[in-house]
Structure 1
Amino acid sequence: MRKSDQFRRMGGNRRSRFAKPLLLGLGLLLGFPSFSGHADLATFLSGINRGGERWRMYMTRSPAGSLHEVEMVFNDPITTGAIADGAGVNMPDGERVALSSAEKQIDPRTDEERVNRKGKKGRIVAVSPVTPPKDFTAGSILERTSFLIVPDFDNAERMAFAKPEIRGREIQIAMAFYKKKPPQVDTSLSPMIASLVTSDKADILATAYAPAKPDYARQSPFDSILREDKSGGRFIPEISPEDHAWAANPLPPEVFSQAEQKCLTSGIYFESRGESAKGQAAVAQVILNRVRNPAYPATICGVVYQNKDWYNRCQFSFTCDRIPDIVWSPSAWRTAKEVALAVTAGKIWLPEVGSATHYHATYVRPDWGPTMKRVSKIGKHIFYRTYGGGWS
């Protein structure tokens, strides 16, 4: 009995010795199933069914420049290749995992050398070295030879280039290719005065006139380009050979002031308000001719009111006839004012008046008339140009 009890006690101790590790292992298996699952998956993927291989797998990021993002590395040298060779695993999220060995180092080859392109073409078609440009010279012009056939001058027939006779006819030839346009209407003047305009360009100091658009009916584009403007924008009258030289002088800048224009308007209004627009412009031209003439005052007011204190012996009768100068017709005053500015700015220049400095009505016979050259008659006024240079 003692011996059997002793054996019974020894069997119970032996079972308890193996039961405790068994229970501990079962608890670890049930509490941490992920480790076992990963190990079994790695062993299955690597094709290794032997025991003890399940803890030799881990995942790592692939090197930069690779065709995949993740590599599954095995310690066992028996592994598969890269994805380019058809190996690898498709993860549930669509990511491609390559299989590699732990002993594999980063492939130093470039993508062009590493990727299998059996069914593809390379990225680079061809690479050929480029030779840098070499220095060269075109040679001297004296060493050149013409591609034309050199004519034989020994024969009777010779070839030569004839010089065209176009000197002095450049504008005429250019005008053959120019189509004239109808004249433009000057909208800055009233129709009655616009019909007297002889120049589309006003004096640069006449600020009342904006720069005129080119009127190719009066001047072609070739004239404006080939002919130089030597006047600097000032109005210079185009005088005839019979006119005096001083008539081609520009007016002083003061004539465009408000006071000077009022004196000129008064002279036109009180001397010729009953005349046509051309007759009024002729009187204005005579007054401005005296301003240009060094023998008379250099201002319009000085010319119009010269000797105004001499009764019936002044230059213009309305200034010394002792009759009050009252403007009874505002419309006639506006016309005289418009004529005054147009003639001063050079928009109107009457060649038939030219450099005349005197005039009188047709119903009077002044004693100075026979001493001067009669040039024209406009309306009820006869105009004269002096002799001897026009100094008197």
Structure 2
Amino acid sequence: MHRRVSMRLAAAAVAKRRSFLSPLVLGLGMWIGFPSVVAYQDMTSLITGLESPSARWNAYIEKSAAGSVHAAEMPFIDSTATGSISGSGVNLPGVGTVAFRGKGNAAGATPDEDRVVRADKKGRLVQVSPVAPPKNFSAGSIFERTSSLLRPSMDSGLKLTFAKPGIKGKEVQIAQAFHLREDKKPDPDLPAALVALVNNDKPDILATAYAQSAPDYAKASPFEALLQDDPNDGRFIPPMGKGDHAWLQNPLPASVFSKPEQACLAKGIYFEARSEPVRGQAAVAQVILNRVRNPAYPKTICGVVYQNDDWFNRCQFSFACDGRKKTITDQASYKTAQEVAMAVTAGKIFIPEVGSSTHYYANYVHPGWARAMQRMTRIGLHIFYRT
């Protein structure tokens, strides 16, 4: 009797294991045999040919305008890819006729990180600047002679000679020149891609593309601010680094701001470095302008860019003499090249690591002249050299 009960219990345990094992094997087989998605239960699944999972979540329908023959509309964000089906429709149970249409306000190709400038954004707490002292207040004002009562007596035997000051009549204006230091803000006229590279807030006075900035009274002396004594007459003079040549501080000729000269510089940037980052494009523009400053090269941008362009594959910039017709096909990249050209010419952007470099080459070539020059830096694929 006991043996019969034991056999029944063992048979029940085996049957239980079999009932659990069969669904497991069946489910595993279906998971391996059907790896793709069978169907999507969303709006996009109603339209054949739109199986991309990246934009499925934002598909929706809109209520049609009054008087329309269809009940709803389904817009498409990418009107270029789905323009061929605009005007067709589908009949949905419970909804009615849904018409397809292209949506014209597609998002731009530039990401928000490059398009939005967040430098001026601050917290919700407002910071109040300290109030400037009253107009006629000054510790030991020049209008009060009482401060002279306790002045120590001077030796009568000491003779002093005073030269006539050049600011006579303006002493009060200079004494009342109180100005707070303010944080530098990015130029709103600059594109967002160039804001991070700007390291000079005083562009060349000849650069009409940028408004002339007001004097920085917190940085300049009161005498300079009042007398307007600018030793460079508003022209941009690049800062000299260690080992830089003296010609680097030669101001650019006024002709570099003309439209033909800027077009030559923009084309040089576009055909030489449009695949480089914006900093790399600015470095190429700086090399071209360094050659304009250098007495050994032509005095114009077009003369530098197209120097020896009639020598096949032996000119200064390879795109000018490779024998192929150059056509601008990427308008967005060319617009960036134009903006970089004007910013570097005006002195808004100057890369100290490049300095007075006049040569560069891509890292996948090895020219013989590189051994006779000093390597400065590498930006992107380009390596820059100074003579």
TM-score of the aligned structures, taking structure 2 as reference length: 0.52
Aligned partners of 2:217 and 2:225 also within 8 Å: no
The aligned counterpart of 1:337 is 338
Distance 1:251 1:265 in 2: 17
**Partner SS state of residue 263, structure 1:** helix
Residue type at the aligned position of 1:370: R
Tell me by how many angstroms 1:147 deviates: 6.4
Distance 1:149 1:201 in 2: 44
For each residue in 1:159-197, what CA deviation from the matched residue of structure 2 results, as whole angstroms up to 9, or x when unmatched?
xxxxxxxxxxxxxxx9xx975433212111111111111
Q: 1:249 to 1:346 in 2, by over 3 A?
A: same
Aligned partners of 1:289 and 1:355 also within 8 Å: yes
**Partner SS state of residue 230, structure 2:** coil
Distance 2:294 2:267 in 1: 21
Distance 2:385 2:208 in 1: 32
Q: 1:297 to 1:185 in 2, by over 3 A?
A: same
Distance 2:151 2:216 in 1: 50
Aligned partners of 2:287 and 2:359 also within 8 Å: yes
Aligned partners of 1:291 and 1:297 also within 8 Å: yes
Distance 1:149 1:356 in 2: 59
The aligned counterpart of 1:211 is 212
**Partner SS state of residue 368, structure 1:** helix
Q: 1:318 to 1:181 in 2, by over 3 A?
A: same
The aligned counterpart of 2:269 is 268
Distance 2:337 2:373 in 1: 28
Tell me by how many angstroms 1:213 deviates: 4.0
The aligned counterpart of 2:295 is 294
Q: 1:148 to 1:259 in 2, by over 3 A?
A: closer
**Partner SS state of residue 207, structure 2:** coil
Aligned partners of 1:183 and 1:215 also within 8 Å: no
Distance 1:319 1:188 in 2: 32
The answer to which of 224-233 and 318-327 deviates more is: 224-233
Q: 1:182 to 1:150 in 2, by over 3 A?
A: closer
For each residue in 1:47-84, what CA deviation from the matched residue of structure 2 results, as whole angstroms up to 9, or x when unmatched?
xxxxxxxxxxxxxxxxxxxxxxxxxxxxxxxxxxxxxx
**Moved segments of 4+, more than 3 Å:** 146-151, 177-180, 213-217, 219-228
**Partner SS state of residue 335, structure 1:** helix
Q: 1:148 to 1:258 in 2, by over 3 A?
A: closer
The answer to whether 1:366 aligns with 2:372 is no
Q: 1:230 to 1:149 in 2, by over 3 A?
A: closer
Tell me by how many angstroms 1:324 deviates: 1.5
Listed as ranges, the matches of 1:322-333 within 5 Å are 322-333=323-334
Q: 1:148 to 1:185 in 2, by over 3 A?
A: closer
Distance 2:267 2:151 in 1: 80
The aligned counterpart of 1:54 is none
Tell me by how many angstroms 1:204 deviates: 1.1
For each residue in 1:8-63, what CA deviation from the matched residue of structure 2 results, as whole angstroms up to 9, or x when unmatched?
xxxxxxxxxxxxxxxxxxxxxxxxxxxxxxxxxxxxxxxxxxxxxxxxxxxxxxxx
Listed as ranges, the matches of 1:177-326 within 5 Å are 180-213=181-214, 219=219, 225=225, 228-326=229-327
The aligned counterpart of 1:385 is 386
Higher radius of gyration, 1 or 2: 1
Aligned partners of 1:291 and 1:300 also within 8 Å: yes
Instruction: Report the count of equivalent residues.
Output: 217
The aligned counterpart of 2:42 is none
Unaligned runs of 5+ in 2: 1-147, 154-174
Distance 2:238 2:369 in 1: 26
Tell me by how many angstroms 1:214 deviates: 5.1
**Partner SS state of residue 368, structure 2:** coil
Residue type at the aligned position of 1:260: E
Residue type at the aligned position of 1:376: T
Unaligned runs of 5+ in 1: 1-145, 152-173, 387-392
Aligned partners of 2:215 and 2:225 also within 8 Å: no
Aligned partners of 1:362 and 1:381 also within 8 Å: yes
Distance 1:317 1:266 in 2: 12
Distance 1:150 1:232 in 2: 44
Distance 2:222 2:260 in 1: 40
The aligned counterpart of 1:11 is none
Distance 1:384 1:245 in 2: 16
Aligned partners of 1:181 and 1:216 also within 8 Å: no
Distance 1:351 1:148 in 2: 53
Aligned partners of 2:179 and 2:217 also within 8 Å: no
Residue type at the aligned position of 1:300: I
For each residue in 1:75-101, what CA deviation from the matched residue of structure 2 results, as whole angstroms up to 9, or x when unmatched?
xxxxxxxxxxxxxxxxxxxxxxxxxxx
Q: 1:222 to 1:368 in 2, by over 3 A?
A: same
Identity over aligned residues, as a percent?
58
Tell me by how many angstroms 1:202 deviates: 1.1
Aligned partners of 1:249 and 1:292 also within 8 Å: yes
Aligned partners of 1:313 and 1:320 also within 8 Å: yes
Residue type at the aligned position of 1:317: S
Q: 1:322 to 1:147 in 2, by over 3 A?
A: closer
Tell me by how many angstroms 1:209 deviates: 1.0
